Structure 1
Amino acid sequence: MATPQFVCANWSADNTGCKKFGKYTCNVCHLVVYCGSDCQKSHWALHKIDCKSPLGNEAWRPGWVLERRDPKFMVKLGSIYPSFAEEKRLWGNIPAIDGLQLESNEGVGHGKQLNLLFAASGDLRNVVKTIAQVPDGYTKPIEVTINDNDLDVVARNAIILLIALVSDNADEAVDCIIHVWYSALIRKSDLDMLQQKTWRFEKGSLRLVLPKSFWDRLLAYVSIPEGLTADQASCIRTAVTLARSKRDYLDLHLIFQSPSRRVAKQRSRQDGLLLPFGAPRHEFQEPNPTLFHVRNVWPMASSADPLQGWSLKDVEDSSSGPASADIYGKLYNHIHTVLRAFLSRITDSQVSFRLFCDTTLVLTSFLESGYFDRIEVSNMSDNCFNGIHQTLFLIGFLLQPPLANPHATLITLFRNAIPETLSRQDVTAALFTDHPETRLMRASIAHRAIANGYEYLPDHHMSDPKVIQWVYAQANLSNYDAVFERFMMEVGFSELKELFRVVMKEKHTVIEKWPFRSKLRHGQPGAMEEFVRLNNEVVFAKDRYVEWRRC
């Protein structure tokens, strides 16, 4: 694959600026690229606003530290939680997975059609990654059934699939999909793609199954509300993403980031465009109707971030040209690569899509027993949603039995099992257990404290940023196997085989049991880098996947 090229940051809205590609980066922030020193000097008057931002200073402190007060997320002394208010989930909030892993299961030479069900899909990231990673040697048809009970989610998924199926130019389609999926404002060319009167395509197939009342509402997702301008849409959005009432929560997220990444995240919150940091933005003048179909509402929580839906390691391993700190440039390039592979697969193969917008109970009435090779249900099995008993009752019978496909797998995710089961004794024991990994934690926190100008003391107040970092670090290094065993006993996993004729797979073949757990130990090469990366984002270490097979 060719190395991606990034446009010189010295562009201008009237097209009189530089149109070359960048070969060099700013040696201070490493966020932008330039074709040479002349453009860098010319652009400095604009770039210095970001390059000299207080967020990019290693001595930056969160507001609650400067104002000598407890942050708003501290309900009481010692109680720290990372979440924001729950709103629409139009972007993934946990990294995408390949729900098939064909090569290590059925094998590339599998001679049958594959039937996949994403029963609580959320956005398309798992679908896209799964199809993109199907090996070239597999030549049989693939049928993908996708369901979510939120019309906002289903409509956006349908539109993105239509763009993928209709466009004759793969790179233009990928660009359009990225912005329809993730950018608050889109280009006129993107809007034209959404508003074409007829969607004609010869490759693949798409079937959309909706209740009658939903069909009339679909046009709202390709039409900008009357009178809504780009400036108004941006104000509506930033009233959420930069709300003063959420300042402490925003700062909480930033204390885990490097200086340049703090600047990049602030830019993302300000303009809402998924682009490399120095990329031209002047063409993005149309409110994205799939996000602003209700006139005065930004539908997502202030914490929503495109980075959350993809593996941070994969993103960091992607290129952003010479601008090595441009994390959203890396994300843009990573998603572009995955989408390009996805489009190639649906163009060259027989891939069909069925989209539903129903509850799980209604959905299963449309589907055939024993039909699916893979079923992925997100965290439907958490107690706060269907719970594992109801999930297996509603979904388990749809999985192919071993005689039809011994590799057929149902994938459930437990995001809340560990937090709900952890006792005070578990937390205390983890905090004060002196295992070898604690040295890694201490080294990491001390390193961050020194880099950020903090005096490193072990007994600071719970609102001290380094103490918060310690709590998160501890959560990422703790072993939760015993806690999950206790959860399974309390919920009654032992009775599931008899009740629903499904059994837990002892050895996982699709997704690791604990994919976000720290794998390297103190002293191993790369351990510090892995540990820092885990702490850079939302704590996922408590997330537990369970795979199931039919008896």
Structure 2
Amino acid sequence: MATITPPGWSRTSICANRYAGQQGCQMGGRFACKACLLVAYCGPVCQKAHWSPLLKSTWQPGWALERRTPAFVGGLLFGASGDLRNVVRTIAMLPEDFRGKVSVTLNDRDFGIVARNIIMLLVIFLSQELDEAVESVIHLWYSAFIKDLHMDLLDNRVRPLVETVCGKIGSKSPRSLLGKTWVFGSRSLRVVLRKEEWLLLPSHLQLPHNWSKSRAQEVRTACTMAEERRDYRERRMLSQLPSHPLCADKFRRDGILLLFGFSIEDFSTPNPTIFGKTEDWPMNDSADPFDGWDLREVLQIHCGPASNDIYGKLHWFLTHLLSRFYHRVSNLEIQFELLNFDAEILPDHLNSLTPSRFPMFPMADILDLQKHCGSLDVLLDGPHDNPHATLVTLFMNAVDEMADGKEEEISLKAEMMQLMKYLSPKGLGFSQGDPWMVNMLAARPLVRDVETFFDRYMEIHRFKEAEKLFGLKMKEPHTIIEPWPTRLKLRHGERGWEDEFKIRHSSAHFGCERYVEWKRIDSIPQLPQELA
């Protein structure tokens, strides 16, 4: 990606010391902090006042200093997302000379995800200016608190559209499916929801419980900074690049996706698309904006002298990507359709609601290959209609599922020997709580023999039978996404291997994410009677 200099960035940014008086230091930030390269200060006094122990190379997690067994020993946590990122990237990357018609159907069984996607697409369509649209979507998407102008956009433009629909469906039965299409010139957004979900949608546009910022922040940090989760947070810090733990700690505390040294004073309104009707923060304490993006791409962004400001880089990466998305959406004939169904019953509804065939059909977290392929293959274009039509499936946990028992013990020894080349031993500890050992175990997936494990997964789940049963065939080579996009590409000793390992280890990806692309090999698959 080309180097990007953030619009509005100034070489005389304000000093980053927020602890100097009620307003913080108001002097110009003329000198970048050479220790962290996150912010700029007016001078050494403010720099020392703003210093954090997380920046020290000698930093150790609390469980090591306190000589206790860390709380996470014996468990792991995994997450998934169904947001707009893949759609945004796909449309943003369309060639500039592309002038064809685009139809996009999005489905998720989690209504909260669908509601946020509806709201953000409406913001894109209703915003008259690029900067307004991009900034609003970034903070509605990732920030726990938003500006008054973002809230005004929701109140004055988005909410009236939703409430008009809700006002017209009072006589409909509670479970009835109701569709509404909004047209914006050559663009349209169609939403199909049950009545009860339509009536719930306005609640995602208003503040819960009339909370103040302080109350909402208290609820959020009770989760994101919970003392009982401290060991889990510090385990994550062990693998992160220098200065990134401080950035992550700041985001956990204030929840605003912004450059490190920028003021968050204007972000005073709890984000109504995130804060729900319950009294709790609705996300995992470990949820992070980086979970859905490639850290390597983000690190290429230039955002001034604060070159280690990783969340600032992500902010400008998203600014660039969403700007391209807004531009492409504004100049294409494009139709979006958003649905809220379980994937297993999706074909029953798509047959009557949408076009019967799709050129591309991405699926994630497939737990039962035959069940889902058997229901979704009929939605994929046949080879005579579109030889490029592709079903994309993502297997996130397949390798882990296969890595157990005696072979896991053998694999562990080989992996640890390999990791010794990347992470030199520190100290004398080889216990489960030793920070070096914890970091080694976290890095294991990066050197795992993923091909062997996935071959076994395909055999157990009868991938070859799926080809015969459903008229689908695995594509070789892939044409949309590489099979293992997050695994290490360089061997130890090759040029750039150290940087690649550090970045991958610091990211939220483990190298075990496996994509499989499928194509139809006949027009109408012949299903056996027992599977029909």
Range into which the TM-score falls when normalised by the shorter chain: 0.7 to 0.9
Deviation at 1:147, TM superposition (A): 0.7
SS at match of 1:240: helix
Alignment of 1:215-254 (within 5 A): 215-254=198-237
Output one character per residue of 1:63-91: Cα deviation in whole Å (capped at 9) or x when no partner: 1111111111112xxxxx5426x6xx6xx
Query: Could you say if the C-alpha distance between residues 185 and 48 of structure 1 is closer, same or farther in structure 2, counting changes exceeding 3 Å?
Result: farther
Describe the superposition over 1:304-340 as per-residue Cα deviations: whole angstroms up to 9, x where unpaired: 0001110000111112211011000011011111101
Unaligned runs of 5+ in 2: 162-182, 522-532
Please give the per-residue CA displacement for 1:472-517, whole angstroms capped at 9, x wherever unaligned.
Answer: 3332012211211111111111211222111111211111111111
Number of the residue aligned with 2:363: 377
From 155, 169, 174, the counterpart of 2:115:
155
The CA deviation string for residues 190-230 of structure 1, in whole angstroms up to 9 with x for no partner, is: 00011115458435110111011111111111110242010
- CA separation of 1:9 and 1:528: change in aligned 2, threshold 3 A: same
Pairing 1:272–2:225 present: no
Q: 1:65 to 1:341 in 2, by over 3 A?
A: same
**AA of the residue aligned to 1:139:** R
Q: Which residue of 2 aligns with 1:71?
A: 70
Q: 1:401-448 deviations in whole A, cap 9, x for unaligned?
A: 11111111101011121111113333333333389x92xx334312xx
SS at match of 2:207: coil
1:6 aligns with 2:13: no
CA distance in structure 1 between the aligned counterparts of 2:421 and 2:26, rounded to whole angstroms: 45
What do the CA deviations read for 1:239-281 (whole angstroms, capped 9, x no partner)? 0000011111111101112341111110010000000100121
> How high is the TM-score relative to the length of structure 2?
0.86
Q: Report the counterpart of residue 116 of structure 1 in structure 2.
A: none
Q: Deviations over 1:111-154 (max 9, x none)?
A: xxxxxxxxxxx110111111111111221110000011111101
Report if aligned partners of 1:502, 1:548 keep a CA contact under 8 Å in 2.
yes
Aligned partner of residue 483 in structure 1, secondary structure:
helix
Q: CA deviation at 1:31?
A: 0.8
SS in 2 for 1:255: helix
Q: Which residue of 1 aligns with 2:386?
A: 405
Task: Say if 2:415 and 2:444, in contact at 8 Å, map to a contact too.
Answer: no
Is the CA contact 1:399–1:408 (under 8 Å) kept in the aligned structure 2?
A: yes
Q: Are positions 1:503 and 2:497 aligned together?
A: no
Partner of 1:531, secondary structure, is helix
Task: Report the equivalent of 1:432.
Answer: 413
Secondary structure of the structure 2 residue equivalent to 1:209: strand
Residue equivalent to 1:445: 423
| 2:482/2:515 contact within 8 Å kept | yes
- The SS at the match of 2:36 is coil
Provide the C-alpha distance between the structure 1 equivalents of 2:328 and 2:255, rounded to a whole number of angstroms: 30
Match of 1:30 among 31, 37, 40: 37
Higher mean C-alpha deviation, range 535-544 or range 147-156: 535-544
Counterparts in 2 of 1:56-67, with a 5 A limit?
A: 56-67=55-66
Say whether 1:357 aligns with 2:340: yes
1:113: which partner in 2? none
The alignment-based identity, stated in percent, is: 36
Match of 1:286 among 261, 269, 273: 269
Correspondence for 1:533 among 493, 503, 508: 503
Q: Is the 8 A contact 2:370 2:466 kept in 1?
A: yes
Q: 1:434 to 1:274 in 2, by over 3 A?
A: closer
Pairwise CA RMSD: 2.4
Cα contact 1:472–1:539 (8 A) shared by 2? no
Q: Distance in 2 between matches of 1:353 and 1:434?
A: 45
The residue that corresponds to 1:391 in the other structure is 372
Counterpart mapping for 1:70-89 below 5 A: 70-75=69-74, 81-83=75-77
Could you tell me how far 1:24 is from its partner in structure 2? 4.4
Task: Write the deviation string for residues 331-367 of structure 1: whole angstroms up to 9, x where unpaired.
Answer: 1011111101100100011111000111124432232
- Of the three residues 80, 87, 108, the one matched with 1:127 is 87
1:255 is matched with 238
- Give the 5 Å matches for 1:255-334: 255-334=238-317
Question: SS of 1:210's equivalent?
Answer: strand
2:134 corresponds to: 174
Deviation, 1:14, is 9.8
Shift of 1:56: 1.4
Q: Indicate whether 1:195 and 2:152 are aligned.
A: no
Secondary structure, counterpart of 1:503 in structure 2? strand
Cα deviation for residue 54 of structure 1 reads 1.5
**Structure 2 CA distance for aligned equivalents of residues 17 and 264 of structure 1:** 20
Letter matched to residue 9 of structure 2: F
Q: How many residues are paired up?
A: 487
Correspondence for 1:467 among 424, 437, 457: 437
Q: Secondary structure at the match of 1:410?
A: strand
Alignment CA distance shift 1:142-1:23 (3 Å): farther
- Alpha-carbon separation, structure 2, partners of 1:258 and 1:498: 47
Question: Aligned-pair distance for 1:471?
Answer: 2.1
The one-letter amino acid paired with 1:378 is A
For structure 1, which segment, 469-478 or 403-412, has the greater mean C-alpha deviation from structure 2 after superposition? Answer: 469-478
Deviation sequence 1:443-479 (CA, Å, 0-9, x none):
4312xx6xxxx42x4x611221111222233320122
Of 226-235 and 10-19, more deviation after overlay is shown by 10-19
Q: Distance in 2 between matches of 1:208 and 1:49?
A: 52
Residues 514 and 545 of structure 1 are in contact (CA less than 8 Å); yes or no, is this contact kept in structure 2? yes
- What is the alpha-carbon distance in structure 2 between the residues aligned to residue 14 and residue 465 of structure 1? 38
- C-alpha spacing 1:363/1:23, structure 2 compared with 1 (3 Å): farther
Matched with 1:516 is 486
Supply the distance in 2 between the matched residues of 1:167 and 1:201 (Cα, whole angstroms): 11
User: Aligned with 2:208: secondary structure?
Assistant: coil
Q: In the alignment, is the contact (CA less than 8 A) between 1:6 and 1:279 conserved in 2?
A: no
Match of 1:146? 106
